[in-house]
Chain A
């Protein structure tokens, strides 16, 4: 069910400014790939280009290709909405719909896709909340607003909302940066469980987190101030953190830079 993503010479722009330069990388299914690198290196922009969320920003565009199992998601006949349904996303700050109940938050995507039958919605909501390790905590208050949950619970609610529409790939943009250590741990455990079913890409500021949860790590950086970000190298997490091929990666890992 999980799919492979490959980018071919992908560059991302905001208007005339190039934010990401010429990245080619293959992201394998049923694995966790972490993007690390200093602030402003374009890793979040690159992540958003993978499910066409990048183009939501006015003036934003890309060059190059993004292939989902060999299908170019930027081809003219491709529907951006369908891409986003297939490649789900979890954001930096938990963003449940504030006026909706927990149940309605999880059901939101399903309802958009035309699922109306109560029984089907019920089972899909329960399945998603269970997958997000949230069911036991919220089963008695599904009709309460999602905004009443703790930050960590809200983020797991957002993950449940994202996986409810059964995507192939899950993109996570610094999902733990707004959370306390215990909630972070819960999310990391969840990521570990979810990788059996999904291709997961996670952007993180936290190198320990990358080391803990990911199978592959990609290191992004800038050539200099005002320059676009680029991919330095991508390899198994083990190798990146013990014996990287590039000097710049080693400098970053060991804290001499960034």
Chain B
């Protein structure tokens, strides 16, 4: 690996660089882990998390130092950057794993058929019975009504923005929709509280929650539908116009069906997002231990709210119920989410 006669001409900038073979790099990292292990064995240092952190830091220092000594500064910096990106990946996946894993661990304890089919009617905090049937009913109704408002409205707005709104008004709406995506969910809840509950004296109800959820769902639907409609090839539209089909029919019969898969994905993600929203529901739905199937009248329960109140309870039984409800909620959301992603694969429209 030294400069021989053939590369003498290259002098200062030879092609050959002293490189560390991969096994050496891996060995150095393993050695660092082994040293950390010894360190933890003989010193008062302890703890699994501490060990992992220490081992990682030591391994990176070793490998980077070795690279610096053998391959030079540029390669050392490059290797350090790679390590950094990998650590970022681990730091992202860890909370995901811990959240899902711990929720599954705590949630399965109470998640039974009985739990899913019973309400909290007559169940005190220190009773081991009770379930989330009333909360599931509430959440499903609230989310369904919210979607019935937000999805058609969102589609129309998206159609306006993409097909008709090539003017100042259209740009303004696009901008406002962007601004709406940034509205905190609690503010949406406060608005419905101020408008529906306090100003119109309608009182707490599932429908009030639906309005708040619809406000949060609307911009997500608009943005994703807009994106999908823009992906429909212009040639398809032109072919339709050339057959003498009017614009509105072209939009309804050609553009929307073509974009349908993508739009459905967006809608499902939007639904997944609002299903777990707690803050707006907390302010305007009220709460109910009993089954209330009428979203228009009287306080209703909802899954997120059920979890929030269980979390704040001093009874361990309430906490256990909250975990089981959390697992149910996660399962609903994840199923929606995964289904949406699977649907994306079927989407023929690509960026």
- Judged by a CB distance under 8 angstroms, whether A71 is at the interface is yes
Stretch at the interface among B8-16, B97-105, B293-301: B8-16
A82 and B18 form a contact (CB under 8 A): no
- Which residue on A lies nearest to B19, using beta carbons? A77
Residue of A nearest to B10 (CB): A86
Give the chain B neighbours of A83 by CB distance below 8 A: 15
Q: Do residues B15 and A68 form an inter-chain contact, with CB atoms below 8 A?
A: yes
Smallest CB separation, A243 vs chain B (Å): 37
Q: In the assembled complex, which residues on chain B have CB atoms less than 8 Å from the CB atom of A70?
A: 6
Distance between A195 CB and nearest chain B CB, rounded to angstroms: 19
CB neighbours of B7 from chain A (8 A) = 71
Question: Do residues A77 and B17 form an inter-chain contact, with CB atoms below 8 A?
Answer: yes
Interface size in chain B (residues, C-beta < 8 A) = 13
Closest to A72 in B: B15
Interface residues of B in 115-159 (CB under 8 A from A): none
Contact B19 A79 (CB under 8 A): yes
Q: List which A46-103 residues lie within 8 A (CB) of chain B.
A: 68-71, 73, 75-79, 81-83, 85-86
**Identity of the chain A residue whose Cβ is nearest the Cβ of B71 in the assembled complex:** A79
Identify A86's interface contact among B6, B15, B18, B19, CB under 8 A. Answer: B15
Please provide the chain A residues from 101 to 144 with a CB less than 8 Å away from any CB of chain B in the complex: 112
Q: What residues of chain B lie closer than 8 Å to A71, measured between beta carbons?
A: 6-7, 15-16
Map CB proximity to A onto B12-30 as digits: 1 under 8 Å, 0 otherwise.
Answer: 0111111100000000000
| A76 / chain B contacts, CB cutoff of 8 Å | 19
B15 touches A82 (CB 8 A): yes
CA distance A85 to B17 in the complex (A): 13
Looking at the complex, which one of B6, B9, B16 makes contact with A79 (CB distance below 8 Å)? B16
The distance in angstroms between the C-alpha atoms of A83 and B18, with both chains bound, is 14
A253 to B120, CA, bound (A): 87
What is the interface of chain A mostly: helix, strand, loop, or mixed? mixed
Residues of chain B lying within 8 A (CB to CB) of residue A69: 6, 9
Produce 1/0 per residue, A182-203, CB < 8 A to B.
Answer: 0000000000000000000000
| B241 smallest CB distance to A (angstroms) | 33
Supposing A69-B6, A71-B6, A77-B1 touch, asked if A82 and B14 sit within 8 A by C-beta, the answer is yes
Residue of A nearest to B9 (CB): A69
When the two chains form the complex, which single residue of B6, B9, B15, B74 contacts A78, counting CB atoms closer than 8 Å?
B15
The chain B residue sitting closest to A67, CB to CB, is B6
| Given the contacts A69-B6, A71-B7, A79 and B17 also touching, CB distance less than 8 Å | yes
Which residues of chain A come closer than 8 Å to B10, judged between CB atoms? Answer: 86
Alpha-carbon separation in the docked complex, A81 to B15 (Å): 8
For residue B5, which residue of chain A has the nearest CB?
Answer: A70
**CA–CA, A82 and B17, complex, Å:** 8
**A78 to B6 CA separation, bound complex (whole angstroms):** 14
Q: How far is the CB of A125 from chain B (nearest CB, A)?
A: 19
B residues within 8 A CB of A86?
Answer: 10, 13, 15
Binary interface encoding of chain B residues 72-104 relative to chain A, with 1 for a CB under 8 A from any of its CBs, else 0: 001000000000000000000000000000000
Contact residues, A161-176 vs B (CB, 8 A): none
Q: Which of B10, B15, B17 has the most CB of A within 10 A?
A: B15
Give the distance in Å from the alpha carbon of A82 to the alpha carbon of B15 in the complex: 5
Considering the complex, which residues of chain B in the window 31-46 have a beta carbon less than 8 Å from any beta carbon of chain A? none
Chain B residues, Cβ within 8 Å of A73: 15
A27 to B10, CA, bound (A): 18
CA distance A79 to B7 in the complex (A): 14
Complex: chain A residue closest to B4, CB-CB? A71
Interface centre among A68, A76, A78, A79 (most CB of B within 10 A): A79
Q: CB distance A77 to B16 under 8 Å?
A: yes
**Residues in chain B near residue A82, CB distance under 8 A:** 13-17
Measured CB to CB, the nearest residue on chain B to A165 is B13
Q: How far is the CA of A75 from the CA of B13 in the complex (A)?
A: 16
A81 to B73, CA, bound (A): 14
CB contacts (< 8 Å) of A81 on chain B: these are 74
Q: Which residues of A contact B15 (CB under 8 A)?
A: 68, 71, 73, 78-79, 82-83, 86
Would you mind naming 16 contact pairs between A and B with Cβ atoms under 8 Å apart? A71-B6, A71-B16, A73-B15, A77-B16, A77-B18, A77-B19, A78-B17, A79-B17, A79-B19, A81-B74, A82-B13, A82-B14, A82-B15, A82-B16, A85-B13, A112-B74
User: Other than the known A68-B15, A86-B13, what 18 A-B pairs have Cβ atoms closer than 8 Å?
Assistant: A69-B9, A70-B6, A71-B7, A71-B16, A73-B15, A76-B19, A77-B1, A77-B18, A77-B19, A78-B17, A79-B16, A79-B17, A79-B19, A82-B14, A83-B15, A85-B13, A86-B10, A112-B74
